[in-house]
Structure 1
Amino acid sequence: MKKSILIACLGLVSLGLQAQSISLAGEWNVELGKSGSAFAKSKRASQGEVKRAILPGTIDTNHLGFAPKDTMETTHLTRLYAYKGAARYSRTINIPKDWKKKPVELFLERTRPTWVYVDGELVDSCNFISTPQRYLLPKKVKPGKHFLEIVVDNGRGVPDQVYGSSHAYTEDTQTNWNGIIGRIELQLASSIEMQAGAIPSRSVASSTALQMPDFAKDFHIKGAHFYANGHRIFLRGKHDAAVWPLTGHVEMGVEGWMKYLGTCKEYGINHVRFHSWCPPEAAFVAADSLGIYLQPELPFWGSFDKKDERLMAFLHQEGENILREYGHHPSFRMMALGNELWGDIDKMKEFVDDFRKIAPDKYYTFGSNYYLGYQGIKEGMDYFTTCRIGGEGWGKYNTHTRGSFSFADAYDGGMINHFHPNSTMNFDEACDKAGIPIISHETGQFQTYPDYREIKKYTGVLHPYNFEVFRRRLAAAGMLSQADDFHKASGLWSVKLYKADIEMDLRTRNMAGFQLLDIQDYPGQGSAFVGILDAFMESKGITTPEEWRQWCSPVVPLLVTDRFCYEENDTMKAKIQIANYGGESLKGKKVEWKLDYAKDERYPNESSVAETLTHLNQPSPLAQGEITIHTDEEGWIDVGEIVHKMKVKANGIDDGDGKCLDVYVGSRKLTLSLYIYEGELDATRYSNTYDLWVYTTPKNIDYLKKQVVIAKDLTSDVVKKLEKGAKVLWLPTTSSHFVAADDTLSQSDNATPYTVGGLFQTDYWNYRMFKTICENNKKKVSPGTLGILTNPEHPIFKGFPTEMHTNWQWFPIIKESHPLVLDNFAKDYRPVVQVIDNIERNHKLGLVMEWKVGAGKLLICMSDLEKAAKYPEGRAFYESVLGYMQSDEFNPAAEITMDELKKKLAEKPRQVSLKELNNISQY
């Protein structure tokens, strides 16, 4: 690089360099050529067809690239006008007469490595990708017309490791575009004198150079927590991977970032982590206005190799540039060296030490989840963003800082999937000894089934061939009509899983924040539909900002209980805690709790009881109480306790004559609501709700068992009884059927069904990628499913209230299950309880199925109900199934012969061949 004439992207805005400017936005000539020095060094001689392009923009947005050859791509969205290589952009410029003898600078706000020519002479080159590029034009460039050429190359100019890893380049999201975006200007540098090529001897402009908004005043770390404006704060963050589906490149305008970050704020987010990239100036301006803390990262995900001098020099320069260019923004408080790094820890510390000298008002960490957390906390780290703090023994969770993992990372996929549902779990054991702030890394990653109605939104440079492939797969499996229900059921369940994971963080005394992955879908890495919003940051229809903020707000009331399911006369003992990071004392305010029927369970199905309750003016709620807050502490507050005896009767109903009647209402879903208020309840600012269930104590289960034939195997004796008119409940055991946790299905020697494993939560991130990783590491592969789909009105659920989707009461039934693969059955056959498969396999899976067989009736349940019956909800489900089978409502619509049933169970299901999909991180 010729330092005598290149200004090295140094954030000179704050030095008043932009007294005057001329925009170069508009129409340019463009020539496409191969990467290489020959194209870059050529001067005005044309090497190819000259086309027209609008800048700011890219080859993609100008529709000048090449049409895709592969329309079966499912790893990510597909570029419709892809181009990789060198592109020469040229036009005539006119330097005003009054700029005579004044330094003139070419300003390119964001681009790829460039080579700049004026009148055929090379000015210099620059490979800054995280910040603007600035070229000081030669003094011989006088006022008047000149020919400007800018060669942009997205195929060379940066270290090889950056391509495909950094979200500044990856095709997974932003794409490896070629172009110039943002401001393109000639600027008059009139207020500063500088020695040609010299780097100003100064530190980054401090954030105090701007008026400091309240949210960022005195931002600092004390012990395990962050503080700002005199109060402890909690970072409610999201991961950002530069997902802009219409343009294929990052938004460069303040208005666009106000919309994006405004949506984040609507959902309670106050912090954004930029995974292996740095956003542009507009993002910091918007964040300053909205009060959102930003954490940019170096554009890297890989090995920090001190021997790779080119890579280290590039990353170090990028870090300096980021700090000098954006460091004056109040929202820029934190910085990381990249994503899930490994390599030389001493070199990481060296980088942090150097950056701290440049910008001492920032806080640094070596890398988000470096070494996947196994190396723990090291000297030089101000805070630690991680999924674990040091290593743990397989099957242990004591070092974890989030509730969900892949099966390659943690036994059984982590705590939420493994333990019986509760709201007592937290990460105290991992965080208490940390001594510095801990931020939960990439929390969540709960998949939802895609919404194919989203396809029509892709009207820009990226096409969702991945969606179309997945939709065709579902159609081939005979389930396309269920696509919307799959999306809704998996999505509603994922929201509850996210709530659980977030609240585990909030219940941890010394947790400083979380960075969700994500409220937004991630269109790459095999297509990871993990968001509560789609890739456009628009609603999927599975939650609302108001609901989400119940557990993602500055102040969150929390119910702490060891279970959610009870039998009548059980006593619920629960604590009320508050995560108080709102910057104000809650002392003297009240927490009111209310227990009532869930909205969809307000009155029982039985019309006579419903009429009685309505006539007798059923009081609401079932139970309530209030507790005064007696502390002015911030952070984690223990408020008080709820003790309540659970009932299945509506007590205290006045019959109009002063008498009190008890009306039997049976097993019900309940809602426990918490409100924090001052004075009138109408002034409530913070509330939260929890699903609970109360069941009648099973009294008839032993009797009901005798009324049907319960079989673990379809023996000849069982088959004879069935065909002669018996009601048969078939409960295949693990010893009588094959269990396959992936798509490689085979059968056992002594039975015929083909199955997958039982997974309670929705599958983590992406089935294809973590199947590859598990197999390469000889770990059990996740069952890969996305929750259940059922009809709540089905009479089998009379004693087991449910929604259409999984909820906490299903845990013992699902965990002890092995859903049956039904690919060989009639295309239009639907199980009573269906299990939603992932986008790769698309098996039709059944948890509960029923058929008429001969003169008899067969119900198959693929759960070990004897084991599930250890829990109230398991007993309730078992009794509800038996009660249904004994009733006149047990009348299956589908018929099948025993020979046909055996044949279909014995046939090998449709096989799916998955290509390997590896992660960059080392496992």
Structure 2
Amino acid sequence: MRFSMLSPADTLSLAGAWQLTAGSIRTEMPLPGTLDTAGLGAPEPPQAGRLTRRHTYAGPARWVRTVALPPAAGGRLFWEVERARQLSAEVDGAPLPALIPASLSTAAVFELTPWAGRTVALTLISDNTYPGWPAGAITYASAATDETQTNWNGILGALRVVRRPAACILAVRVYPGRDTLDVAVDVAAAPTALARAFVELASPALAAPARRLPDALVPCPAAAPGAVTTLWLRGLAVRPGAPRWDEFDPQLTTLSAALFLPGSPAPADEAETRFGLRDFRVQGGRLALNGRAIFLRGEANCCVFPRTGHPPMDKAAWAALLGRYAAYGVNCVRFHSWCPPEAAFAAADEAGMLLQPELSDWDFRHALEDPAAEAYYARELCQILWTYANHPSFVMLSLGNELGNGEAGRAAMHRLLGAARRADPTRLYASASNDSYGEKGPDAASDFFTAMANRGAMLRATSSPLIGHLNHEFPGTRRHYTQAAEAGRGGQAVFGFEVGQYEIWPDFAQLARYDGVTLPHNLAMIRRRAAQTGAGACWTAGVAASGELALLCYKEEVEAALRTPAMSGLSLLGLQDFPGQGTALVGMMDALAEPKPYAFAAPARFKAFFAPVLPLARFDRYTFAAGDAFAADLELANYGRAAVGALHWLLYDDTTGCPLYGGELAGPFAPGGLRGAGAIACRLPDDGRAHRLTLRLRAGSAANAYPLWCYPDAPAEPAPAGVRVLTRLSEQDLGWIAAGGRALLDPDAALPGSLPCAFSTDFWSVGTFPAQTGTMGLLIDPAHPALADFPTEFHANWQWWAPAQGRALPLPAGVRPIVRVLDSVTRLGSRALLWEAQVGRGRVLLSGMALHRFPDRPECAHLLHCLTRYLAAPARPAAPLAPEALRRLVAEV
């Protein structure tokens, strides 16, 4: 919303000291601000699963200030208050009804004209217990939860008295279509006073200036009854060739409005607003911006601002945050169960960032079933659509997060969706994000469907408890979600919901930067646990290893969605750590929205696959036997502005440092979809060595790369002379080892104290989803001689997928593992997939991989061969382990 143009003399700032009464607290505090930022309230006990507030307060807070109001000078005085909790106001102790009522997402406007020229006591009351509102749904939502921004109490934004003309324009709203636009002029006057008024409009976007009577005069839906009238001017022709707003070229323009009352040659008031011409709709089952299909590269913003405990209110701060997102490739931000302030929309308009706000509702059982809840959310919806109407970045809205309900609540949802479309048809609406966890499929009244699954068919690669193809299907690049995306939809666009959620060990250096209203006791507890368990000794490497694996998994998530032509994108959760819900450390950035100081978190690495244009390869698997034929289908996901020329490919042998094969597939590849390029085929090396290869793709400035491995055939003999491969440990075997034997002990059964492993890191957090393994990937010693002919990095990659399906074994004190299993931050036990010990005069490699389970997997067969060949070589120093200790470790095998 843009208020009318004012000189500085027409505005009286009320920022400064106010007298506060909040429970037993009676003191002076500055506004704008919160009790948290003022250091007021009770200290909160340390929290293990989220950040801890330095100060908390729940209840009504009253701020009083004596103000000498300016004279009205023939006009009117309005009091603007931006962003509070449940807000009310008084003048000299008497209640003051709002001209424009507030919501948790929008500002309030009160009229002070009757007191113009007088000195009065102004009172603001903000209550963060929300009496009469759906408090449970609100405080579970990101709008007010202590899991993220905190349930602060205060006033955050504009706080001022403004003098306006007697018949004044409160807002000008512009609704662009493809070739025309509609304009709504909201005037603080009764309809009878405006019966013969006319409006003059001018804009570079219009084919010609307009000067005419309104097409309709109706009550303003956002205002108190009878207080504000909306003058509608519809069907104004857009100038041919007028620039359009989009993510690549966010062109903004202006529109000025002048209100003329009958019999007056001078305008009663004038206003100017900024907007962008853009058309956003569902077209052929896909989201389309200005007629071109787009792919959402989204991020979920859960209102995580640990230093202040509340969102910033200035455009510069939002521009900086959106810039960080964009550096990782983001083009759309979903605001998880909250709506950001005006400053965020203004920054997004300039950045070309698409926004999807939500109502302050997270009720997964009884959403909108209570008529009082429906009334509250209907008001919030109306205020959001009115306040932020002119922002081209605002393209979608859902009624909340993961809402679930019965028949009465569903009917209320549909009423709200109908009201939204009548109020503003230039945006798209949905019943919820992840409506009923996707179990009911697309809602018939919604424009788009964003969910984790569609009636059980996954729309992302993993979920709790580690279901999904990433951990349950041998890896390749042919997996897609076409069936799930197309099932049961009635034309709605489909995109992925909260994709990713791969946890990473935390970087403890961030603790020193928590200098605001919250304290990272949860992270400090993890640090103490790491010191107590010994995990701290490998912490930096563990952060890097879990982060590299998370990055690998995020890449598969993105590409699987891109391989699905029926999908319009995905929304991550996320690039930024989530500080609550058991502490979900899933980001490339920490909770302070600063990139983690590790190579995996470099924005360019993520943006390399989270980009408008990306060449893709579809092939069956990442691992091959020597001399196998490799075949792939190449495609180009082109959601950029223009066609792209040829697609170039190169198969490079990283082991020898030589290119093997390459070629070019001719374009052009038009924008707006997934384009087939052609098939390639070649023969992989067969020289008796294991090879790490890279398939490199390039199309214009876009590039992609895939690792491949090929392994020599395993020897006919299972082990060299003098080496045994054991799946059980008998007393005879133990005696043979102690006497100098060498064995790979690779049992089928679960060893005592072992845990099942998974390939990926934790999903979200074990604190929220305890029914998962809790392992966090592998920390590998690539220089160990046992892996000399098994090409590997220090972290898990796709060749470790099958071995990582094994068991994490307890690691005896003093034993340095060859392959460590990183454990959940809730335990941080010392565990490994592979370690070596000297037992008596013999040597044992103890493995939790059960490699013999995968006889047809060349990587498993070759790894087994590498380990037995290592045992046959001259011994290296190894940590001693008593025979009895080995017997206890494998007592049940």
Is TM (by shorter chain) over 0.5? yes
Letter in 2 for 1:112: R
Q: Does 1:429 align with 2:483?
A: yes
Q: Find the residue that maps to 2:717 and give its secondary structure.
A: helix
Q: Which of residues 657, 682, 697 is equivalent to 1:674?
A: 697
Q: Which of residues 720, 723, 731 is equivalent to 2:746?
A: 731
Q: Is this contact kept in 2: 1:304–1:347, CA < 8 A?
A: no
Taking a change above 3 Å as real, the CA distance of residues 844 and 207 of structure 1, as seen in their structure-2 partners, is farther
Q: Is this contact kept in 1: 2:638–2:669, CA < 8 A?
A: no
Taking a change above 3 Å as real, the CA distance of residues 729 and 356 of structure 1, as seen in their structure-2 partners, is same
Letter in 2 for 1:80: R
Taking a change above 3 Å as real, the CA distance of residues 109 and 127 of structure 1, as seen in their structure-2 partners, is closer
Q: Is this contact kept in 1: 2:503–2:763, CA < 8 A?
A: yes
Residue 77 of structure 1 aligns with which residue? 51
Distance, in Å, in 2 between the alignment partners of 1:50 and 1:864 is: 67
Q: Report the Cα offset of residue 207 of structure 1.
A: 14
Q: Does 1:534 align with 2:529?
A: no
Taking a change above 3 Å as real, the CA distance of residues 77 and 351 of structure 1, as seen in their structure-2 partners, is same
Q: Does 1:714 align with 2:737?
A: no
Letter in 1 for 2:89: V
Distance, in Å, in 2 between the alignment partners of 1:790 and 1:703 is: 24
Taking a change above 3 Å as real, the CA distance of residues 765 and 318 of structure 1, as seen in their structure-2 partners, is same
Structure 2 runs not aligned, ≥5 long: 169-186, 191-223, 248-276
Letter in 2 for 1:754: G
Cα deviation, 1:339-393, whole Å, max 9, x if unaligned, reads 11111322211110011111111111110010111111232211111112224xx
Letter in 2 for 1:104: L
Q: Report the Cα offset of residue 768 of structure 1.
A: 2.1
Letter in 2 for 1:885: L
Q: Which of residues 561, 566, 576 is equivalent to 1:505?
A: 561
Q: Report the Cα offset of residue 304 of structure 1.
A: 4.6
Q: Does 1:222 align with 2:288?
A: no
Q: Does 1:870 align with 2:865?
A: no
Q: Does 1:695 align with 2:705?
A: no
Distance, in Å, in 1 between the alignment partners of 2:616 and 2:391 is: 35
Taking a change above 3 Å as real, the CA distance of residues 840 and 512 of structure 1, as seen in their structure-2 partners, is same
Letter in 2 for 1:811: W
Q: Which of residues 56, 60, 70 is equivalent to 1:86?
A: 60
Q: Which of residues 17, 20, 32 is equivalent to 1:30?
A: 20
Distance, in Å, in 2 between the alignment partners of 1:14 and 1:567 is: 69
The aligned length equals 794
Q: Is this contact kept in 1: 2:760–2:777, CA < 8 A?
A: yes
Q: Find the residue that maps to 2:293 and give its secondary structure.
A: strand
Q: Report the Cα offset of residue 307 of structure 1.
A: 4.5
Distance, in Å, in 2 between the alignment partners of 1:648 and 1:462 is: 59
Q: Is this contact kept in 2: 1:206–1:359, CA < 8 A?
A: no
Letter in 1 for 2:714: P
Q: Report the Cα offset of residue 880 of structure 1.
A: 1.0
Q: Please identify, of 371-380 and 523-532, the stretch whose mean Cα deviation from structure 2 is larger.
A: 371-380
Q: Report the Cα offset of residue 545 of structure 1.
A: 2.3
Residue 52 of structure 1 aligns with which residue? 28
Residue 337 of structure 1 aligns with which residue? 399
Q: Does 1:450 align with 2:439?
A: no
Residue 139 of structure 2 aligns with which residue? 164
Residue 810 of structure 2 aligns with which residue? 821
Q: Report the Cα offset of residue 869 of structure 1.
A: 3.1
Alignment of 1:365-514 (within 5 A): 365-391=430-456, 399-407=457-465, 413-433=467-487, 434=489, 435-514=491-570
Alignment of 1:595-674 (within 5 A): 595-598=651-654, 601=655, 620-632=658-670, 634-648=672-686, 666-674=689-697
Residue 67 of structure 1 aligns with which residue? 43
Residue 791 of structure 1 aligns with which residue? 781
Distance, in Å, in 1 between the alignment partners of 2:6 and 2:464 is: 50
Residue 418 of structure 2 aligns with which residue? 353
Structure 1 runs not aligned, ≥5 long: 1-10, 34-47, 392-398, 604-619, 650-663, 678-684, 739-752, 772-780, 908-923
Cα deviation, 1:44-63, whole Å, max 9, x if unaligned, reads xxxx5532222211111111
Q: Does 1:830 align with 2:830?
A: no
Residue 182 of structure 2 aligns with which residue? none
What is the percent sequence identity of the aligned residues?
32
Q: Is this contact kept in 1: 2:301–2:336, CA < 8 A?
A: yes
TM-score, length of structure 2 as denominator length: 0.85
Q: Find the residue that maps to 1:693 and give its secondary structure.
A: strand
Q: Is this contact kept in 2: 1:105–1:135, CA < 8 A?
A: yes
Distance, in Å, in 1 between the alignment partners of 2:639 and 2:414 is: 31
Distance, in Å, in 2 between the alignment partners of 1:132 and 1:710 is: 72
Q: Is this contact kept in 1: 2:744–2:867, CA < 8 A?
A: no
Distance, in Å, in 2 between the alignment partners of 1:207 and 1:371 is: 39
Distance, in Å, in 2 between the alignment partners of 1:246 and 1:146 is: 35
Distance, in Å, in 1 between the alignment partners of 2:295 and 2:234 is: 24
Taking a change above 3 Å as real, the CA distance of residues 110 and 306 of structure 1, as seen in their structure-2 partners, is closer
Letter in 2 for 1:57: G
Residue 241 of structure 1 aligns with which residue? 302
Cα deviation, 1:261-291, whole Å, max 9, x if unaligned, reads 1111111111111111100001110111011
Distance, in Å, in 2 between the alignment partners of 1:308 and 1:818 is: 49
Q: Find the residue that maps to 1:361 and give its secondary structure.
A: coil
Q: Report the Cα offset of residue 17 of structure 1.
A: 8.7
Higher strand proportion (structure 1 or 2)? 2
Taking a change above 3 Å as real, the CA distance of residues 82 and 305 of structure 1, as seen in their structure-2 partners, is closer
Q: Find the residue that maps to 2:392 and give its secondary structure.
A: coil
Q: Find the residue that maps to 1:279 and give its secondary structure.
A: coil
Letter in 2 for 1:78: T
Letter in 2 for 1:897: A
Cα deviation, 1:141-168, whole Å, max 9, x if unaligned, reads 1314322221222123332223431111
Letter in 2 for 1:311: A
Letter in 1 for 2:576: Q
Q: Find the residue that maps to 1:692 and give its secondary structure.
A: strand
Letter in 2 for 1:118: V
Q: Report the Cα offset of residue 698 of structure 1.
A: 2.2
Residue 797 of structure 2 aligns with which residue? 807
Q: Report the Cα offset of residue 171 of structure 1.
A: 0.3
Q: Report the Cα offset of residue 189 of structure 1.
A: 3.2
Letter in 1 for 2:756: G
Q: Please identify, of 161-170 and 210-219, the stretch whose mean Cα deviation from structure 2 is larger.
A: 210-219
Residue 110 of structure 2 aligns with which residue? 135
Q: Which of residues 170, 175, 188 is equivalent to 2:163?
A: 188
Cα deviation, 1:557-600, whole Å, max 9, x if unaligned, reads 001111111222111001111111112122xx1111122244xx
Letter in 1 for 2:868: L
Q: Find the residue that maps to 2:337 and give its secondary structure.
A: coil
TM-score, length of structure 1 as denominator length: 0.83
Q: Is this contact kept in 2: 1:447–1:530, CA < 8 A?
A: yes
Taking a change above 3 Å as real, the CA distance of residues 505 and 720 of structure 1, as seen in their structure-2 partners, is same
Cα deviation, 1:176-227, whole Å, max 9, x if unaligned, reads 0011001111122322442475254549999999985244622221122112
Distance, in Å, in 1 between the alignment partners of 2:508 and 2:25 is: 40
Q: Please identify, of 18-27 and 842-851, the stretch whose mean Cα deviation from structure 2 is larger.
A: 18-27
Q: Find the residue that maps to 1:338 and give its secondary structure.
A: coil
Q: Does 1:568 align with 2:626?
A: yes
Residue 704 of structure 1 aligns with which residue? 719
Letter in 2 for 1:88: R
Taking a change above 3 Å as real, the CA distance of residues 187 and 421 of structure 1, as seen in their structure-2 partners, is same
Cα deviation, 1:701-738, whole Å, max 9, x if unaligned, reads 6163543122222211001101110001111212xx35
Root mean square deviation, CA, Å:
2.3
Distance, in Å, in 2 between the alignment partners of 1:702 and 1:866 is: 14
Q: Which of residues 364, 368, 377 is equivalent to 2:429?
A: 364
Q: Report the Cα offset of residue 544 of structure 1.
A: 2.2
Q: Report the Cα offset of residue 127 of structure 1.
A: 5.7
Residue 744 of structure 1 aligns with which residue? none
Residue 269 of structure 1 aligns with which residue? 330
Letter in 2 for 1:757: P
Cα deviation, 1:53-82, whole Å, max 9, x if unaligned, reads 2221111111112222x22x1221010122
Taking a change above 3 Å as real, the CA distance of residues 726 and 328 of structure 1, as seen in their structure-2 partners, is same
Taking a change above 3 Å as real, the CA distance of residues 416 and 206 of structure 1, as seen in their structure-2 partners, is farther
Cα deviation, 1:846-875, whole Å, max 9, x if unaligned, reads 111111111111111111111133211111
Q: Which of residues 822, 832, 847 is equivalent to 1:861?
A: 847
Q: Find the residue that maps to 1:767 and give its secondary structure.
A: coil
Letter in 1 for 2:105: S
Q: Find the residue that maps to 1:278 and give its secondary structure.
A: coil
Distance, in Å, in 1 between the alignment partners of 2:603 and 2:307 is: 24
Q: Find the residue that maps to 1:151 and give its secondary structure.
A: strand
